[in-house]
Amino acid sequence: LPRQPAASPLLALDIGGTLIKLVYTASCEGDGGGSDGAELRFAKFERRRLQECFEFIRAKGLLGCNGTRSTNENVLLKATGGGAYKFADDFREKLGVYLDKLDEMDSVVSGANFLLQNIPGAAFTHMNGQRNPVDVSPNNLFPYLLVNIGSGVSILKVTGNRKFERVTGTHIGGGTMFGLAKLLTGCKSYDEFLQLSQKGDNFVLDLIVKDICGELVCQKQGLSTSTLASSFGKVITSKKRLTDYKPEDLASTLLSAFTYNIAQIAFLVASLLGLRRVFFGGSYIRGHKSTMENISFAIDFWSQSQMQAVFLRHEGYLGALGALMSYGD
């Protein structure tokens, strides 16, 4: 099958467990992007809104300048994520295009390496309220740990361009947290959940060291009084029911429980592999300041400041970016 025609805007997709991510270059409609057409654009849809994604692709003219079905017959789109297999027939039937299916981990690593090596300012730290750019030059970039927090979490050791190993992962990831959040807080969207968490207080539900030992004993033994002992641990001894808790406090507790847990797993894996730099990607982070602050705090705390958590712009689009890059292969 031929590739997507050179004159067309380029489009690549990452169809994950929760979200469909699109990365594309400026379209034929003069959709901005400058004369060289190289500016990248990003869009995402919930996976259950596949039809809206199709409409978007059509409306933006992303399949070619005269995007009629007959000309689309020859179009082969780069696509990654499990949904690239599951929905290939839908793309064929509804848009008349073929999907060229790419390995998900290959794509995520290519996307991360592309951002890190080509986009100045793409990597940054976020600690103590400060966002600072991280200077990554090709000779100090590798090896690094890549923690991609999507519906689940994948943890990869990256040693070079296209050189990586998926070390491990956990099924307790963004999908788990957002699933529980929908049940417990009634939130309708991820952004609503993040906003709720911002207004909440996790200490209403979380058990901290001080609650167990009492402040005086803690001080005598040199324990930090505010250290989390058990996420949601206060609920056990309380007479309150679910509806007695504020959705804000539930959201805040969920976000801190999952974020610290994933950061701790990342720290443990990085320690085992002797890696000092940990890059975080995936839509879980969503550019949310306190999520990045909490990850950074945890990595710094557990590693006694020997490791650094680094975040990426467009962190949710690593797989789709990697897929787009593969048009040049």
Interacting residue with ligand ADP among 24, 178, 245, 279 (CB under 6 A): 178
Q: Could you give the CA distance from residue 37 to residue 30 in angstroms, rounded to a whole number?
A: 9
User: Shortest Cβ distance from residue 79 to ligand ADP (Å)?
Assistant: 12
Q: Smallest distance from the beta carbon of 17 to ligand ADP, in angstroms? A: 4
Smaller CB separation from ligand ADP, 200 or 316: 316
* Cα separation values, 271 from 73, 151, 157, 267, 299, Å: 50, 24, 12, 6, 11
Number of Cβ atoms within 10 Å of the Cβ of 255: 24
Among residues 254, 234, 233, the alpha carbon closest in space to that of 187 is found at: 254
Strands 207-208 and 153-160, bridge-based pairing: unpaired
Return the residue of 75, 99, 177, 209 that touches ligand ADP, per CB under 6 A.
177
Place of tokens 């002992």: 229
Instruction: Examine residue 308 and tell whether it contacts ligand ADP (CB under 6 A).
Output: no
State how far the Cα of 94 lies from the Cα of 99, in Å rounded to an integer: 13
Interface segment toward ligand ADP; rule CB under 6 A; list 63-71, 119-127, 173-181, 209-217: 173-181
| Minimum separation from the CB atom of position 274 to ligand ADP (A) | 27
Q: Which of 8, 113, 151, 308 binds ligand ADP (CB under 6 A)?
A: 151
Of 194-223, binders to ligand ADP (CB under 6 A) are none
CA–CA gap between residue 190 and residue 177 (Å, rounded) = 10
Residue 316 sits at the vertex; the CA angle it makes with 314 and 319, to the nearest 5 degrees, is 100
Contact between 150 and ligand ADP by CB under 6 A: the answer reads: yes
Is residue 143 within the footprint of ligand ADP (CB under 6 A)?
no
Stretch 283-302 residues interacting with ligand ADP (CB under 6 A) = 283-284, 286
- Bridge pairing between strands 76-80 and 98-102: parallel
Minimum distance, C-beta of residue 130 to ligand ADP, in the bound complex (Å): 24
Q: Which of 316, 320, 322, 323 binds ligand ADP (CB under 6 A)?
A: 316
Cα–Cα dist 260/17, whole Å:
22
- Supply the Cα-derived Rg of the chain in whole angstroms: 22
Question: Rounded to an integer, what is the distance from CA 29 to the centroid of its chain?
Answer: 30
Which residue, 16 or 64, has its beta carbon nearer to ligand ADP? 16
Compose the 14-33 pattern: x for residues touching ligand ADP by CB under 6 A, - for all others. --xxxx--------------
Selected from 81, 111, 169, 200, the binder of ligand ADP by CB under 6 A is 81
| Lookup: tokens for 321 | 């970016």
The residue ranges that bind ligand ADP (CB under 6 A) are 16-19, 46, 81, 150-151, 174-175, 177-178, 190, 282-284, 286, 316
